[in-house]
Amino acid sequence: MKVLIINGSPRKGGNTAAALREMENVFREEGIEVRQIDIGTEAVRGCIACGSCAKNGKCVFDDKVNEAAAEFRDADGLVVASPVYFASANASLVAFLQRLFYSIPFDTTMKVGAAVAAARRGGLTATYDELNKFFGISGMPIASGQYWNGIHGREKGEASEDKEGLQMMRTLARNMVFLMKSIALGKKEYGLPEKEKRIATNFVR
């Protein structure tokens, strides 16, 4: 089984990374393959609504978004983690996720999603909500933990002192592994749920 981690933070060894390290330890203990993509210092363009992805199955900007898409295709789970900037996920990560989720040509149904946020003080749950929405529109069950997955810290490394936050990350990772394994069993036993042809109305007709 494989988990893809996308880290939005530009800070190497920062607080988002500390939260992810805690999760990664659990994944490794449980024999889960981990692939991490850091996008915080990348010059990430926003979606330009060109529609080229609908024809070509990939984003017109051939950067880490397409690299992540290739990893996401065969992953059983996706962790998206962000530092909180103005009570939101950081802008590069939002641009990245909008292009990723808009351009992927494959079905993400029953890939498990988990959202993580790191902040000095405020905006954790707003960011958590924002990130979970990418999973909610994609048929992805959302893994939860013992709280709303957030960790506190301002300076690099401070999150390592947030014992409750670190425990949240371990719990989240364990729950995520359980969900991924259960879904794999369920797929074998019952197959994926039936899918109807998508109806898309634009509130006009």
Ligand X SMILES: Cc1cc2nc3c(=O)[nH]c(=O)nc-3n(C[C@H](O)[C@H](O)[C@H](O)COP(=O)(O)O)c2cc1C
Which is nearer to ligand X, 104 or 119 (by Cβ)?
119
Q: Is 86 in the site for ligand X (CB under 6 A)?
A: yes
Q: Is 156 in the site for ligand X (CB under 6 A)?
A: yes
CB of 119 to ligand X, least distance (A): 3
Q: Is 62 exposed, middle or buried (0-12, 13-18, 19+ CB in 10 A)?
A: exposed
Q: Is 21 in the site for ligand X (CB under 6 A)?
A: no
Q: Are 89 and 117 in contact (CB under 8 A)?
A: yes
Q: Is 102 in the site for ligand X (CB under 6 A)?
A: no
Rounded Cα distance between 66 and 106, Å, is 13
Q: How many residues bind ligand X (CB under 6 A)?
A: 20
Q: Which of 69, 80, 97, 119 binds ligand X (CB under 6 A)?
A: 119
Q: Is 153 in the site for ligand X (CB under 6 A)?
A: yes
Stretch that binds ligand X, among 8-16, 57-65, 105-113, 193-201 (CB under 6 A): 8-16
Angle subtended by helix axes 124-136 and 91-103, to nearest 10: 10
Q: Which of 48, 50, 54, 87 binds ligand X (CB under 6 A)?
A: 87
Q: Which of 3, 4, 6, 16 binds ligand X (CB under 6 A)?
A: 16
CB of 4 to ligand X, least distance (A): 18
Q: Is 187 in the site for ligand X (CB under 6 A)?
A: no
Residue whose Cβ sits closest to ligand X: 14
- Give me the residues that bind ligand X (CB under 6 A), please: 9, 11, 14-17, 83-87, 118-123, 153-154, 156
